Amino acid sequence: MLLQTNHGVLEWDGTGTIRVQYDASPRLGERIIPVEALRGVEVSADLRLELREHADPLLSVTGGSFESIYHFEVTDLTAAKRLASEIRIARARRAVPETAAPRWLVATPPAADALEGKDATVAVAQGMLMFAYPRSATRRKKADGNPRSVPLTDILNVEWVARAGRHAGFVRVGTAQTPVDRPKPKHDPAAVRVAPDGELDALFFAARLLTRVQP
């Protein structure tokens, strides 16, 4: 079953897999969502896929702020309601719980192993997350060494935040040693601020990194 949406074509195979071709956001490409990744589906003025916690790294790394990629504006609400009904039946047949998924169920978009930001370059190599800071980085940011490395096994969380006004977007990681009151990203050794045109690269890098530290 095919459904035309504002994001592109949504295809339901009738048994347990949803494919979305994000024509309006080509960098997202095609995403494959198994019904096991869903905790629900709703139809009102649009069609909304509600994903389980820990099912999609893109949602986890953004704190849910990227969930609009699963909100589909449609012109054929009758078809959308029929699709939602079939998905609910498939979930029930497979006894899919609404609890957090035991593993990642939606693949991340392709991402490089390195990210060049405004005040740091970060890369994954040999089980480490490596930070290198330019001369323009603040002293507080370079206080733990330049370059510095963090074992992937020490990383507890990964966060991506979009730009807000004049504040640059950033990626940052947390470990057991991360202070509760974190410094601003400009001064945080474990944060990388990114330019507006690099935000998607940063998001995909962060999501891929999250799958490495939280399988």
Categorise residue 133: left if φ over 0, alpha if ψ from -120 to 50, beta otherwise.
beta
Domain count of the fold of the chain: 2
Looking at the domain assignment, is residue 99 inside a domain?
A: no
Looking at the domain assignment, is residue 109 inside a domain?
A: no
Q: Can you give the pLDDT at residue 155?
A: 98
Q: Are 62 and 160 in contact (CB under 8 A)?
A: yes
Looking at the domain assignment, is residue 171 inside a domain?
A: yes
Tokens 């949803």 belong to which residue?
Answer: 18
Q: Do 204 and 156 reside in the same domain of the chain?
A: yes
Q: Do 135 and 209 reside in the same domain of the chain?
A: yes
Looking at the domain assignment, is residue 58 inside a domain?
A: yes
Range list of H helices, 50-174: 57-61, 77-93
Distance CA 5, CA 159 (A): 29
> In which domain, by residue range, is 21 found?
2-93
Token pair in block for residue 213: 């530290």
Helix (H, G, I), strand (E, B) or coil at 91: helix
- Walk along the chain (215 residues) and give the pLDDT tens digit of each residue: 999 999 999 999 999 999 999 999 999 999 999 999 999 999 998 999 999 999 999 999 999 899 999 999 999 999 999 999 999 999 999 999 999 999 999 999 999 999 999 999 999 999 999 999 999 999 999 999 999 999 999 999 999 999 999 999 999 999 999 999 999 999 999 999 999 999 999 999 999 999 999 98
Q: Do 76 and 23 reside in the same domain of the chain?
A: yes
Q: Do 44 and 133 reside in the same domain of the chain?
A: no
Looking at the domain assignment, is residue 98 inside a domain?
A: no
Looking at the domain assignment, is residue 105 inside a domain?
A: no
Whole-prediction pTM: 0.94
Looking at the domain assignment, is residue 103 inside a domain?
A: no
Distance CA 183, CA 80 (A): 46
CATH number at residue 60: 2.30.29.30
- What are the tens digits of pLDDT across the range 125-183? 999 999 999 999 999 999 999 999 999 999 999 999 999 999 999 999 999 999 999 99
Q: Can you give the pLDDT at residue 212?
A: 96
**Where a domain ends, among 93, 122, 153?**
93
Q: Do 86 and 127 reside in the same domain of the chain?
A: no
Q: Do 31 and 119 reside in the same domain of the chain?
A: no
Burial 11-34 (b: 16+ CB within 10 A, else e): bbeeebebebbbeeeeebeebebe
Q: Can you give the pLDDT at residue 36?
A: 98
Token pair in block for residue 66: 């990227």
Looking at the domain assignment, is residue 107 inside a domain?
A: no
Q: Can you give the pLDDT at residue 192?
A: 98
